[in-house]
Structure 1
């Protein structure tokens, strides 16, 4: 499903959200309505069709039911205001607010440079670290990284990030991010690059078990037996949690340290594969 910031109509977003959920599970309009606090099982269906409207309070409940967080909730509610506005001035005000939210939180979509960006841990780390250390030379940035990296590698990485439009360098040599976040484009090669990044970050995580004090890291895990339906639901919960973490992390412009959050949910048995054989 497309990012909410690409929408201007809240009814279409509701319809697409339902269609996306329906394609992945036995999701129903009744379940959707109940989650948003409506007694009528078809209320949101009628809203998506333009037959009913949403109040401001109901808009927020629907946003929460769709697991929207932070600026996403705000954007959705502004879309509702934009759709319902009677006066041109109110409609313009709502639309300008939508534009401001989208501009502040838009993500850089990587296509041609995706393999290189996601293929090396230094790219995402230095994209976060360089703006947090204004005026720092490559050697200082290299020393700030826990993983071993040379000043020359830092310089090469920064040059790539600027060339790819992921960082901007001012006349004083300071860097700033061009976008709040980075996402991948529709590339066949991207999964390979992302797998490589996951592998690198997983190795770094192992090193921190002994190398980082417990009050500066968080490790936890649980082993459970699940059905395929439960697996799909858990994967969705992980995706929603990741969105909430990003919203918290991007709320402030300041950065004290660069952290990596690995979310892993993988099989420890192969019963299903044995059945197929």
Structure 2
């Protein structure tokens, strides 16, 4: 008998299904798409084939039949259900929810050791500003100093946790009792970690709204414009924003006299439905 596959290595449930099918064939166990449909009580003999090809999604009922027929154990079944729900999620918030669930599964963490830390790096808004604070000309070095500078403030235990997380991700290091930022950029490792950024964007949008009351006009720049665009021009403007963001990063990297951490947001989103006429 062929060694059992490690289901926790997979990030796409369709690829996992294919692997389970191949293993069943190698073990000389009966399998065909028609056989599966009969065992699962499905009316379409080709249903699972359509799922594997990306033309259909597993329903809640058919998902449970996969768990049963392919004899997934309790932990494997739990993982497979969350993986299906993640792949089926239609909004970023839904994907963020199921990504968080997956990254809390211990056996999945074993396959991607830094994945949970990377997810948390994005999902907790203050991790990135704290790292930026450590690049200032007179960089704070203690939890108290960071606490006194960060706006809005977070607790000292959260600051301590953030420093430990940043060090674990090799984004900062301590040399001669001083925190220093390493030059390496953040590597997400795999796609699930990316979805932690949803919470980061939401928090920064809220902070932008709050800044209208918290800071005088000379310390902020909040402006917006509503305009009619073709799809082609909208994509052109999106590209302009991406290029401008890259230019801003380059300017910031050249600044050797950093005194304060700023947040710069860009937003481009529809305010109307597409006119099909």
TM-score, normalising length: structure 2: 0.54
**Cα distance change, pair 199–135 in 1 and its aligned pair in 2 (3 A):** closer
Match of 1:176, SS?
A: strand
Aligned partner of 2:268 in structure 1 is: 265
1:137-148 correspondence to structure 2 within 5 Å: 137-148=142-153
What is the CA-CA distance between 1:209 and the residue it aligns to?
0.6
Distance 1:186 1:234, change over 3 A: farther
3-state secondary structure, aligned to 1:262: coil
Following superposition, the deviation at residue 191 of structure 1 comes to 4.1
Q: Would the aligned equivalents of 1:119 and 1:194 in 2 still touch at CA under 8 Å?
A: yes
Flag the 1:191–1:251 CA change in 2: closer, same or farther, 3 A: same
Query: Which residue is 2:199 aligned to?
Result: 196
Structure 2 residue corresponding to 1:121, chosen from 117, 125, 138: 125
Question: 1:190 and 1:233, CA in 2 relative to 1: closer, same or farther beyond 3 A?
Answer: farther
Contact 2:118 / 2:169 at 8 angstroms: preserved in 1?
A: no
In structure 2, do the counterparts of structure 1 residues 146 and 134 end up closer, same or farther at CA, with 3 Å as the change threshold?
A: closer
Q: How far off is 1:171 after superposition?
A: 2.6
Please report how far the alpha carbon of residue 116 of structure 1 lies from its aligned counterpart in structure 2 after TM superposition. 1.5
Contact conserved, 1:131 with 1:175, CA < 8 A, in 2?
no
Structure of greater Rg: 2
Out of 213, 219, 236, the residue aligned to residue 233 of structure 1 is 236
Cα displacement string for residues 107-133 of structure 1 (whole angstroms, at most 9, x for unaligned residues): xxxx73431111111110000113424
Conserved in 2, the CA contact under 8 Å of 1:115 and 1:190? Answer: yes
- How many aligned positions are there? 162
Residue 135 of structure 1 deviates from its aligned partner by: 5.5
Aligned to 2:155: 150
Residues 170-191 of structure 1, C-alpha deviations (whole Å, 9 max, x = no match): 132x1111117x3554632244
Distance 2:186 2:271 in 1: 29
Unaligned 5+ segments in structure 2 are 1-113
Distance 1:218 1:212 in 2: 10
Match of 2:27 in 1: none
Secondary structure, counterpart of 1:236 in structure 2: helix
Q: Distance in 2 between the 1:211 and 1:264 partners? A: 21
